[in-house]
Amino acid sequence: MATKKLKFEEALARLEEISSLLEDENVPLDEVLKLYEEGIKLTKICQTKLKEAELKIKKLDEELEEN
């Protein structure tokens, strides 16, 4: 999965899916580790995208205040 190009909503949906999978006690440890690693990467992507959106909103608010 090319996580770098995921949209926020796609990454969040995959995180929810991973969360559900990790709640299953029958998932083998190796799979749990892979899912956890993927979840960390997706979390970072979501955080970055949220930070970018916050900066954009802040910039737009500043432009609005200038007018």
What CATH number does the domain containing 49 carry?
A: 1.10.287
Q: Report the candidate in 12, 1, 2, 5 with the shortest Cα–Cα distance to residue 47.
A: 12
Instruction: Indicate the pTM of the whole model.
Output: 0.82
Contact indicator for 49, 5 with CB cutoff of 8 Å: no
Residue-number span of the structural domain to which 39 is assigned = 8-66
Q: What is the pLDDT of residue 48?
A: 96
Reported as a pLDDT band with limits 50, 70 and 90, residue 24 is: very high
Q: What is the pLDDT of residue 5?
A: 85
- Indicate whether 1 belongs to any domain: no
Q: Work out how many domains the chain is built from and give that number.
A: 1
Considering the chain, what percentage of its residues have pLDDT values greater than 70? Answer: 94
Mean pLDDT of 55-60: 97
- Indicate whether 3 belongs to any domain: no
Mean pLDDT of 6-35: 96
